[in-house]
Amino acid sequence: MSDAPVRKGFNQTRRQFMATTAGAAGLGAIGLPRLSKAAPKRGGTLRFGTRVDSTALDPHRNLVYYISTPLAATTQGLLDLDLDMNIVPGVAEEWDISDDLMVYTFRLRKGVEYHNGRDVDAESVKWNFERILDPKTSHAFTRASLEDVDEIIVDDKHTLRIRLKEPSAVFAANVVYYPCNLMAPDSVDQVDTHPIGCGPFKFVSWNRYAKTELVRFENYFETDEHGNQLPYLDAIEGYPKREDQVRLTSLRTGELDLIDNMAFNDVRPFRESYGEAFDIFEAPHIGSGHLNINVKSGPFAMDAPDGKLLRHAIAHAIDREAIHHAVFEELGYPLNGYYSEASPWHMPGIRNVKEYDPEKSRSILRKLNMENMPIAVVARQSFQYMSQTAELVHAMLLDAGFNATNEVFDNPVLRQKYAKDDWGIDSTATSYRFEPDGWYSRWILSSAAENQLRLGYKNEQVDKLILEARQTLDKEKRIELYTEVESLVNEDAALIYTHAVPMTSAGTNRLKGYRPAFAGAFSTAGGGIRTAYFEEA
């Protein structure tokens, strides 16, 4: 067994809880409502309006609902995230890492149950991980988080060892609630109709695009700082309402208690007009917006003779402040790297950021005799901020002397364009990269599938730094390595960071203790839905 510090369980968790509570109170100063000092009251049904509905019920095959749809409350991971994006105990109360970073040992909390009464033991976790590793029963994103697993060994009922194929200091981040959540093995036959998880709420029914019903799991293991069992709410009713204004109206009329994904341009006027009756919750950074440049082929390619200069011309044309004001309504932060000031992985020392200077862009194009150079700006339809950013970028590129076009596509069409290299700049974003390796290894590393599909970015020095960081336990050292990565990426300008994507939700001021964080409404230990309660239940 290793001498590495053991990540401890509940005693520490309570201290962490207090620390995060203080942290959340601090967040109040930058926008979150202050925490209620009143004792939590049990009971009540939370009516939650979401922008999207779950795609389907199988928690290993489907992705989106872990972030913001009520079904996320039915599942739980081996580990959890706290309000500050730290990895904390979940079903496993402690874990350690071998000296060679090849073996992770998880000790499971005793007495944790699935909703059908079966114990959450090491065998069941192994079964879940093996199901996730099977391409027939899992989503690629979920599967990729376990791709380093070589062997899963059950030492005893409550001890699980995972041997990796290669040393990794970051593996623990791959077994948190999202994406590797746990379902009862003996419920697999009903996974598409009535999933059985081990999260704070039990599944009751799902009427797609209409209503989801959950009730409190009476044997849920997590407690608050006073030892009271969580969650406090009796039930959740989820109502998918696609249109932002429809959700907001339903909140105002009292049909809903909480809504997610408030439109950015609604936040300020709503706070000014209805701030006394409703709270607005802002998590300033749940994802990062970026402009991908097609460097696989064409004039901007990594190996094109003037590719780098042309990419610099693009980078100098981008006004992040304008995006901050026009698209994000001054919520969140403009970015020079993936992590904003709101993140514990923020890197203030990033270099080579190309300042907004359209004249410089024009002069580069003149020098290369490439004025009116054609470039296609594309974006996907599903997220408005992506297409709005694309519109602005289109205008900025025209101003800088490019002959830019702008088109918005649905995802399958855009994927075909990626495959055919039929695009120039893609206005996109990624979320849920609370562990930096989840970003750098999956997008920037030259062997990463997303990079190969979309960007085609390759820089050997960058690859080396990312792989070194993956095997480095010390956080400060990793931040140094990633700072160097970001500085090189900025210099290559194959990908231009634009803006942190904030999460904005709103709720009745009767709802207390609701503290959403980076991980969303459901997957936050000591926060989110788990600690929410009604003032008058």
Which residues sit at the interface with another protein, rule CB under 8 A? 55-58, 63, 135-136, 139-141, 143-144, 192-193, 207-210, 239-243, 246, 249-250, 252-253, 255, 382, 410-413, 415-416, 449-450, 452-453
Q: Considering the complex, what minimum distance in angstroms separates the CB of residue 108 from another protein?
A: 29
Q: Considering the complex, what minimum distance in angstroms separates the CB of residue 248 from another protein?
A: 10
| Residue environment code for 195-207, b if the CB has 16+ CB neighbours within 10 A, otherwise e | bbbbbbbbbeebe
Q: Considering the complex, what minimum distance in angstroms separates the CB of residue 475 from another protein?
A: 27
The span from the CA of 58 to the CA of 134, in Å, is 14
The token pair at 383 is 């997220």
The span from the CA of 239 to the CA of 214, in Å, is 12
Q: Considering the complex, what minimum distance in angstroms separates the CB of residue 65 from another protein?
A: 12
Going by C-alpha positions, the residue among 300, 336, 337, 287 that lies closest to residue 425 is 300
The span from the CA of 526 to the CA of 104, in Å, is 25
Q: Considering the complex, what minimum distance in angstroms separates the CB of residue 191 from another protein?
A: 9
Going by C-alpha positions, the residue among 500, 170, 169, 487 that lies closest to residue 347 is 487
Q: Is 232 in contact with 73 (CB distance < 8 Å)? A: no
Going by C-alpha positions, the residue among 96, 95, 97, 154 that lies closest to residue 120 is 154
144 vs 392, beta carbon nearer another protein:
144
SS3 31: coil
207 vs 461, beta carbon nearer another protein:
207
98 vs 452, beta carbon nearer another protein:
452
166 vs 192, beta carbon nearer another protein:
192
Q: Considering the complex, what minimum distance in angstroms separates the CB of residue 16 from another protein?
A: 33
The span from the CA of 477 to the CA of 454, in Å, is 30
372 vs 416, beta carbon nearer another protein:
416
Q: Is 428 in contact with 292 (CB distance < 8 Å)? A: yes
290 vs 311, beta carbon nearer another protein:
290
Q: Considering the complex, what minimum distance in angstroms separates the CB of residue 209 from another protein?
A: 4
What is the chain's length?
537
